[in-house]
Amino acid sequence: MPELPEVETVKETLKSQILNEVIDCVHVYYEPIVAYPTKQEFIEQLKGQKIKAIERRGKWLLFIFSKHVLLSHLRMEGRYYLKERKEVPTKHDHVVFSFASGKELWYRDTRKFGRMYLYEKENINEKKPFNALGLEPWDKELTPTYLKEKLKRKQIPIKTALLDQSIVVGIGNIYADEVLFLSRIHPLTKASSLTEEKLVILIKSIQVTLEKAIHLGGTTIKSYESSEGVHGRFQNELAIHGREYCDVCQERVTKISVGGRGTYYCVNCQKEK
């Protein structure tokens, strides 16, 4: 699944491609992709609107139009492609945005898990799903005090807590493993047990890991690529996820399941306490 660095990469790519494009018409070939409003309202409300900005919130893409905001979650395999109008969509292309310029933006999703919401701009942060999202990794309010409060009743492993988008947004399975390895925290450590000192390290590790991943265009795992077909290079920098041996101590990397997610860690560098 595309995580924060991948979505950031897609956002920046799309900004270079479609800013200020005006929607001529929209075709929705698989209706469930549009979670809100209805298919017909979605089509009618977008017609004639200009893309004024493209932003990101956690793992969500935000297309800012003249009157509305389109929220798009790529889920497992969603991708955007810029095409010419003469090209014919495939069975996996579920939403096509046709622009007055003659270009088209196709949303392709082989597993059909992606979702789109179209809201009026007013009070967008109070709308689903934004009203349930936590802080961005670089938010000034992301402090040890904030995390301590959020985690104090969490009897779950810290690996599971890192995946909770109501606490900190944008961290998925791959980056959670990388963050915990950099923090030298065992993935099964009870979230509520982390000291303030460890929380300081954890926050810094989240920021460093995601900044590096963004710089390298994200991680190519399975089918991720940006809208220009750019594959991320962070997979070459993974310190623990998917590795056989730890680069730090040369111990064989251990893989377990935490909350149903494959989890990699080093028994030597990330000792369970």
* Residues 202 and 171: beta-carbon distance below 8 Å: no
Per the residue annotation, which of 2, 5, 137, 187 is the catalytic one?
2
Supply 214's token pair: 């963004």
Which of the residues 59, 108, 150, 198 is marked catalytic? 59
Give the closest residue to 74 by CA, choosing from 13, 138, 135: 13
Say whether 89 is catalytic: no
Is residue 59 part of the annotated active site? The answer reads yes
Q: Which of the residues 39, 127, 255, 261 is marked catalytic? A: 261
Cβ atoms within 10 Å of 121's Cβ, excluding its own: 11
In degrees rounded to 5, what are phi and psi of residue 246?
-75, 130
From 3, 6, 77, 225, active-site residue = 3
261 is catalytic: yes
Decide: helix, strand or coil at residue 150. Answer: helix
Helix 196-215 with 144-151: angle, nearest 10 deg? 110
Q: Could you give the CA distance from residue 139 to residue 20 in angstroms, rounded to a whole number?
A: 28
Does residue 2 have an active-site annotation? yes
Q: Which of 265, 238, 262 is nearest to 251 (CA)?
A: 265
Report how far residue 80's alpha carbon sits from residue 225's, in angstroms, rounded to the nearest whole number.
9
Active site amino acids: 2-3, 59, 261
